[in-house]
Structure 1
Amino acid sequence: MSTEEQQYDVVVNDEEQFSIWSAGRELPAGWRATGFRATKDECLAHIASVWTDLRPLSLRLRSA
């Protein structure tokens, strides 16, 4: 499979920070899959559309 075709999962942690992880690999502790799986570029575009406030959840809650 070429790099352009490799699949990734969009993952999120308890602070609602997003990342991507190679599909099929075990997730590291503290991260969970969001259910979005696609190519790297598609995953990064998805993250850019949903992660509009880059502050960690704990900081957002303190600021509210």
Structure 2
Amino acid sequence: MTNPFEQEDGIYHVLVNAEGQYSLWPAYLDVPDGWEACVKDEKRKVCLEYIETNWRDMRPESLKQTEPAKM
């Protein structure tokens, strides 16, 4: 069986949680509790580009509030 997160021709969602963390998620799986789809039913490449463009600071929101960004 192949990894469902690595199927180039698969259809995916981009999920985001309350901490501002993103995840690529196979569209055929239920969205886990605590996560919300911000992009739905797109090709893997589109989802990965969205994540790369929008998730610029990998720190969780709770840490960003207490620690300044390092450049």
Q: Which TM-score tier does this pair reach, normalised by the shorter chain?
A: 0.7 to 0.9
Determine what percentage of the aligned residue pairs are the same residue: 37
Matches within 5 A, 1:34-49: 34-49=38-53
Give TM-score, length-normalised by structure 2.
0.74
Stretches of structure 2 lacking an aligned partner (at least 5 in a row): 1-6
Runs of 4+ in 1 over 6 A off after TM superposition: none
Contact 2:27 2:40 in 1 (8 A): no
1:50, distance to aligned residue in structure 2 (A): 0.5
Q: Which amino acid aligns with 2:52?
A: A
Per residue, is there more helix in 1 or in 2? 1
Stretches of structure 1 lacking an aligned partner (at least 5 in a row): none
Matches within 5 A, 1:10-49: 10-49=14-53
Give TM-score, length-normalised by structure 1.
0.81
